Chains A and B, each alone.
Chain A
Amino acid sequence: MTLALAIDLFLSAMLVGGGLFALIGSYGLLRLPQPMQRLHAPTKATTIGVGAALVVSALDLLPQGAVSWQEILITIFLLLTAPISALFLAKTLLLRHEDPATLPDSGTGRPWATLSDDRPVG
């Protein structure tokens, strides 16, 4: 077995594996009963799905001696921004479905920021 074939096999396996995780993430959206639980599936499973596809894209031309570095950039920005969109969704869910009585005490003597009275309303 040549090295090029081995690399191709490895990359194909990564693609299929990543695709499976992306599928599981979407399935989680369908299956989990509570809105806050549904938020878990896409933030994790989808990250590794996209991540695997990007690694494959970066290493695709490896047998010809070329590595594409831009995919690393995409991966970094994906890891940086995914938590932020998840946080915004979580804050929306807090406002719509929760109140201080259903959440644990913050233990600091102050309420949670999203539900506190002095938050900017707009």
Chain B
Amino acid sequence: MDQPQPILSVRHLSTCFRTDRGVVTAVDDVSFDLFPGESLGIVGESGCGKSVTSKSIMRLLPEHLSFLRPESQILFDGMNLARADERTMREVRGNRIAMIFQEPMTALNPVFTIGWQLDEALKYHTSLGREGRRQRTIEMLRLVEIPNPEKRIREFPHQLSGGMRQRVLIAMALCCEPEILIADEPTTALDVTIQAQILRLMENLKQRLGTAIVMITHNLGVIAQTCDRVIVMYAGRIVESAPVKQLFHQPRHPYTKALLESIPRMNPGDHGQRLPSIEGIVPSLYDLPPGCRFADRCPRRQPSCVEAEPELEPVDSASLVRCFFPWE
């Protein structure tokens, strides 16, 4: 087989939370592969489990409130991160799998200069000397297109704009040259022009450094611009997985199709018209229906849909879909 080896394989990942109302499964049997140099988008609406998926991979969820089901496997470089101990995780985090957070405003420590914060990560994960780390810090800031990095390293987070801070965070995430970068809604808190800059920057960096990216977002526009492959999640489950072009041109799952249709467009004829939206609400995770989780809101629903849940099955060579009656 000349198929490349995946760098990260998630198998049957189920993340549960202990709550006052019992145990909730926020991510339910999620499996996917990430290949070197690839961008994988995870898209879905709020609460569908996309952030929990990323935090489960990094094992960032509070241990007294959550647990992974025993069948969960997160295979990375011969290790199963789902079972790894704290020491192994510390080696992996930041160094081999890095993460960018949604809020650039609060993701930097306000009492230290950005130079200090970049330096700290390098000190922890590399054996560079003081001057070497300084060089690297400046080099990274230049890479993320921050003007005047020699001066900027002495500044505090509050002296930078949101876009600048997100660039610093990207620099921090990439400074140890991780194999995987998980970006959890990296552009949500930024305004549109800055969003475009940041996305272009990430695209450039991916080309230059060969980092695999997991892009988590609810914004389909971001996915269309940056990703090679997309996973659509709904109520804790993957409902569709397809290459990005195919997903946008030929969505298979009714949810994906509805999602694409509800993107606001600027067509002259649409003026004054209501935006299309998906009727109904997401089922509560406490009280899931026995059949398809989207059945309630689905325009193609058949009586069989509410009786049993469909499996995630291949519909063609590249895509998987969880539906009894996918669009052709």
A interacts with B: no
Chain A positions near chain B (C-beta within 8 angstroms): none
Chain B positions near chain A (C-beta within 8 angstroms): none
